[in-house]
Each structure stands twice: as structure tokens, then as C-alpha cells.
Amino acid sequence: DAGVTQSPTHLIKTRGQHVTLRCSPISGHKSVSWYQQVLGQGPQFIFQYYEKEERGRGNFPDRFSARQFPNYSSELNVNALLLGDSALYLCASSLGGGAGETQYFGPGTRLLVL
């Protein structure tokens, strides 16, 4: 079975632009979480979705939004990009998103904002 997949692998944008990142969870997993990892730091939680509903949101501005589709894949959208949005964006999936469930991480999308 394929693991968590993310696309694209790398992306270069300029300030003010918009970006969409995509994630496909492991088959059978209904929950997807997004994390931002700035260079040299640990990942920070952005969103969790379960059954197309937002279950949790981290301390990120409204420029960040996400959604989950009926096939449980997910998109992370970032508007009005800032230089500080440059980071590795990680997606993780789990069966139901409940406490204690193992999360499986994808390889990430590296975003560079110029």
C-alpha cells in the first residue's frame, strides 16, 4: 500500500501570491493533519480534518485555509504569501484522528517564497 503522498514536492512563489498544496492519505484513513516546519525548527500544527470537517486549528492567520474532499484527500491553501511562509509543509494521516491514533507523515512539500 502507498503511504501518504504530497504534491508538489517543491514550489517557488513570490510574495503576495497564492499556493495550493495537496495531500492523499493512506487508503482507509479518514483524518488528515497539516503541519508547517520552518527550517531549523520542529513542525507546528496548522489544521486537522476528519470526514471533511475541521476538527482542530493551530495558531495560524486566516490566510491559511484547508479542506478535505469526499475521497479524504486534502488541500492546504495559503493566500497573500509572505517570506516567512517559506517552510516544509507536512501532511499526516490517521484512521479516525482520535487521541492516541498513530499518524503517518508524508514526505512534505518544500515552499520557497521570494
Partner 1 sequence: KQEVTQIPAALSVPEGENLVLNCSFTDSAIYNLQWFRQDPGKGLTSLLLIQSSQREQTSGRLNASLDKSSGRSTLYIAASQPGDSATYLCAVEGNAGNMLTFGGGTRLMVKP
Q: Footprint of partner 1 on this chain (CB under 8 A)?
A: 4, 31, 33, 35, 40-45, 48, 55-56, 58, 88, 90, 94, 97-108, 110
Q: At closest approach, how far in Å is the CB of 80 from partner 1?
A: 25
Q: At closest approach, how far in Å is the CB of 95 from partner 1?
A: 10
Q: At closest approach, how far in Å is the CB of 96 from partner 1?
A: 9
Q: Which of 98, 93, 100 is nearest to 74 (CA)?
A: 93
Q: Which of 9, 1, 21, 3 is nearest to 94 (CA)?
A: 3
| DSSP-based three-state secondary structure for 83 | helix
Nearer to partner 1, 13 or 110 (CB): 110
Nearer to partner 1, 19 or 90 (CB): 90
Q: Which of 5, 86, 45, 114 is nearest to 78 (CA)?
A: 86
Nearer to partner 1, 17 or 54 (CB): 54
Where helices occur in 1-114 by DSSP H, the ranges are: none
In contact, 7 and 27? CB cutoff 8 Å: no
Nearer to partner 1, 44 or 73 (CB): 44
